[in-house]
Chains A and B, each alone.
Chain A
Amino acid sequence: MAKAKKPPKPEELAKIDYSPPETGWMDTPAVFKPGTFCYGARPKYLEEVGFPNPREWSSADEDWKLPENWKEIVLEGLGDRLKKYRSFHLFMDICVRCGACADKCHFFIGSGDPKNMPVLRAELMRSVYRKYFTTGGKLLGRHAGARDLTYDVFKEWWYYFYQCTECRRCSVFCPYGIDTAEITMMARELVNLLGCNTDWIAGPVANCYRKGNHLGLEPHTIQSNIEFMVDDIEEITGIRVEPTFNRKGAEILFVTPSGDLFGDPGTYTCMGYLMLFHELGLDYTWSTYASEGGNFGFFTSMEMAKRLNYKIYAEAKRLGVKWILGGECGHMWRIVHQYMDTWNGPADFLEVPVSPITGTRFDNARATKMVHVVEFLADLIRHGKVNLDPSRNDHLKVTFHDSCNTSRGMGIFEEPRYVIRHVCNHFYEMPENTIREKTFCCGSGSGLNAGENMELRMRGGLPRANAVKYVNDRYGVNMLANICAIDRAALTTLMQYWVPDVDVCGVHELVGNALVMKGEKKRTMDLRLEPLPGMEEEEEEEE
């Protein structure tokens, strides 16, 4: 029996050693602290999509139940990827460790953990690459910055590559343009080869594969959820909008993240789309099959992401639409912009998108045939095709969070700001080094928006929250608008911890509030069914 530990004496208690350990990073294994990592994937999710090594396991356990030849599998997988992706091979070799990226990562800034410096996070993998794939590393070992792939090193990869949201802020500052997100993607592919995914990612992947969306909503549920929104819109405006589902021959297919169909405040954004499309008389349809714009497969492997993405074109073809309109989502747009055409194109059965209202031809979307709803709306506003009353949002002081994927992944900077300025009278920017291409991540992207890793999310979101706090203190900002479904969910929680005075909304919620619809009744409520400040006073006067 273990000897009972004596309670410390008061003078011992007073001698707390505040300083952290001084071993080098190679010799300091990752400590799995609850609150900083996600649960391991359940076997049923892996089985459903044919991922390897499905078993009951916990990331907090010593034994991860890896196959006997786990090391061989990882090294072979690493070798395959070095051959397949030239960029990855280059990123393994080219870093000169200048440190320009080191302090640009929101996780490093928030946590203070040096292994969250992008350079060091990448070094976790580079050290193994050197050992097995370079002559210098094979001969000189540690002297050349090389180390063996051990069980601890594998766990360290898992721990830290699930502390990167693939936001690419570090790559903006890298003089070589090294994309750390790509390194993280490769690392996640490698851990996935051994069935070491997270439950929060694997569940949505399996749902999406079976039912077309992350939440696993079935066709009738999607339809009834939207009908509830239709009821709410009628209560607010007196107008019954009439969306259609899986309608063949519609001109446009509309695809949005499933978070907009179920979770608040995403649903209010969705109501904004419904109202706008109704007002325009747009010939569009929803699909209960291509019912997800997001793609958690992207956080497992390129092959899985391609499989999940395929349904969008397949459905567009089946329904015979001319082009596709996409909702407010983050990584969906990075995939559309950078991968979709390569994976599942060419979409030669579709036409180059042309706005049926303004006649604008979206040549920028001629490859993918898919237009962002904010871009579509900015064009409508530019042509004076929508009637907006921004004073309905006068109780809001709005700032805009650039989502990592739409800003750094495809360069959408102006359109959302242009729209916001037309639907709100009070708009304030956060400081320059926290917006546009230098935007700070919400801290929960790339599948890290689980509940069990809440401390990690709060750390990662600290730099963003800090900038929001500044505009809250200085201008009284009380609404954080964005164009990403994960942002809408994650920033809401983030604000409750760091800046509780600030609420979160999608841009189309603001649009829905400001939109003057033909034949609508006097608005007294906003899209949240809450009284519109100013309007309720008039009601009392009338009484």
Chain B
Amino acid sequence: MELKDLLSQKKTSVMKRWYDLIMQTYPAETAMFLQAEKDPFANPVGSTIYRGMEGIYEGLLRETDPEGVSGFLDSIIRVRAVQDFTPSEAVSFVFLLKDVLREELKDDVDPEGLLVLGSRIDALALSAFDIYVRCREKLYELKANELRNWTSKLIERAAKAGGRGQ
């Protein structure tokens, strides 16, 4: 069977195992809530993660390059970049997919096929790292902007006052 077909066939079980593993990165009480609450507005973290995972998996299935799934990676990482995670923990969910696929596909795919798949996930992980850094940079930028907006208002006023005096 083609790798693509196999991935498609295994989608439900892979997604479930992957989601469970990601949930284990949260405290037990939180994981229960994230898994049980289906309303996307009551549970934006759980629903964002799941939607992002689906997009990433579809991308993997269709052999989309990391650029093509960056929006899905971004949606998950943007959340985890402001939660209580170290940088490695925040992007760890990408590597968790590698573990799951290895387990799920070990009897159906030869080692070389797994290596190819592994490399593609590694490429996603590198892209995840870029996105994480962008999110953190954005936070610093926002902090700086809030401060700068105060001073820029003063300067703008001073300039106007100067203009008015002329």
Interface residues, chain A, with chain B CB atoms under 8 Å away: 16, 18-20, 22, 31, 33, 35-36, 102-103, 108-114, 117, 224-225, 228, 231, 262-264, 431, 433-434, 451-452, 454-455, 458-459, 462-463, 466-467, 470, 489, 493, 496-498
Contact residue among B145, B147, B153, B160 (Cβ-Cβ distance under 8 Å from A231): B160
Tell me if B89 and A228 are in contact (CB < 8 A): no
Contact present for B30 and A112 (CB under 8 Å) = yes
* Distance A117 CA – B26 CA, assembled complex (angstroms): 14
* Chain B 2-31 per-residue mask, 1 if CB under 8 angstroms from chain A, else 0: 000000000000000000010011111110
Closest 3 CB pairs of A and B: A466-B44, A112-B30, A458-B82
Query: What secondary structure prevails in chain B residues at the interface with A?
Result: helix
Q: How far is the CA of A466 from the CA of B47 in the complex (A)?
A: 10
Known contacts A112-B26, A231-B160; decide if A498 and B78 are in contact (CB<8 Å).
yes
CA distance A54 to B147 in the complex (A): 26
- Give the segment of B34-42, B58-66, B101-109, B124-132 that binds chain A: B34-42
Query: When the two chains form their complex, are residues B44 and A103 in contact, meaning their CB atoms are under 8 A apart?
Result: no
Cβ-defined contact, B44 with A109, below 8 A? yes
- The answer, yes or no, to whether B115 is at the interface (CB within 8 Å) is no
Complex: A263 Cα to B157 Cα, angstroms:
12
Which single member of A112, A113, A466, A493 contacts B41 (CB below 8 Å)? A466
Assess whether B48 is interfacial by the CB under 8 Å rule: yes
10 contacts between A and B (CB under 8 A): A16-B92, A18-B96, A31-B84, A103-B43, A110-B45, A114-B27, A228-B157, A263-B150, A458-B82, A489-B146
Q: Does B166 contact A (CB under 8 A)?
A: no
Check B79 for interface membership: any CB of A closer than 8 A. yes
Complex contact A434–B24 (CB within 8 A): no
Given the known A-B contacts A103-B42, A451-B146, A451-B147, are A20 and B27 also in contact in the complex, defined by CB atoms under 8 Å?
A: yes
Chain A residues with CB under 8 Å of B147's CB are 451
Question: CB distance B30 to A497 under 8 Å?
Answer: no
When distances are taken between beta carbons in the complex, the residues of chain B under 8 Å from A466 are 40-41, 44, 48
Contact assessment for B89 and A16 in the assembled complex, using a CB-CB cutoff below 8 Å: yes
Kindly report which residue of chain A lies nearest to residue B135, judged by CB atoms.
A497
B155 interface contact, C-beta 8 A: no
Tell me, rounded to whole Å, the shortest Cβ–Cβ distance linking B101 to chain A: 16
> Contacts of A19 on B, CB cut-off 8 Å?
24-25
Query: Which of A31, A112, A113 gathers most chain B CB within 10 Å?
Result: A112
Q: Kindly report which residue of chain B lies nearest to residue A500, judged by CB atoms.
A: B138
Chain A residues with Cβ below 8 Å from B21 are 18
A431 / chain B contacts, CB cutoff of 8 Å = 41
In the complex, which of the residues B39, B84, B88 contacts A111, with contact meaning CB atoms closer than 8 Å? B84
Q: Chain B residues with Cβ under 8 A from A489's Cβ?
A: 146
Query: Contacts A112-B26, A458-B139, A493-B146 given: A470-B153 contact, CB under 8 Å?
Result: no
Kindly state the separation between the CA atoms of A35 and B139 in the bound complex, as whole angstroms. 10
Q: Are A111 and B146 in contact (CB under 8 A)?
A: no
- Tell whether A112 pairs with B45 under 8 Å between CB atoms, given A454-B142, A458-B139, A497-B139: yes
Known: A18-B89, A451-B143, A459-B83. 12 other contacts (CB 8 A): A22-B28, A33-B84, A108-B30, A110-B83, A112-B26, A112-B30, A225-B157, A228-B157, A228-B160, A263-B149, A493-B142, A496-B145
* CB-based nearest B residue for A430: B41
> How far does the Cβ of B80 sit from chain A's closest Cβ, in whole Å?
10
Least CB separation from B160: chain A residue? A228
Q: Which residue of A lies closest to B93 (CB)?
A: A18
Contacts A19-B24, A228-B157, A433-B42 known; A112 to B150 CB distance under 8 Å? no
From the candidates A18, A33, A102, name the one contacting B25 in the complex (CB within 8 A).
Answer: A18
Q: Give the chain B neighbours of A108 by CB distance below 8 A.
A: 30
Contact B145 A112 (CB under 8 A): no
CA distance A455 to B44 in the complex (A): 17
What residues on A are CB-neighbors of B138 within 8 Å? 496-497
- Of all chain A residues, the one with the shortest Cβ separation from B86 is A16
* Shortest Cβ distance from A434 into B: residue: B41
In the bound complex, what is the Cα–Cα distance between A20 and B39 (angstroms)? 25
Distance in angstroms from A230 CB to nearest chain B CB is 12
- Given the complex of chains A and B, what is the CA–CA distance between A225 and B139 in angstroms? 30
Closest B residue by C-beta to A432: B41
Residues of B within 8 A of A114 (CB): 27, 29-30
CA distance A228 to B164 in the complex (A): 10
- The one of A18, A225, A263, A462 in contact with B44, judged by C-beta atoms closer than 8 angstroms, is A462
CA distance A96 to B138 in the complex (A): 42
The answer on a CB contact under 8 Å between A455 and B139 is yes
CA distance A200 to B42 in the complex (A): 30
Contact B84 A467 (CB under 8 A): no
A264 to B24, CA, bound (A): 42
Contacts of B96 in A (CB 8 A): 18
Q: Is the CB of A433 within 8 A of B89?
A: no
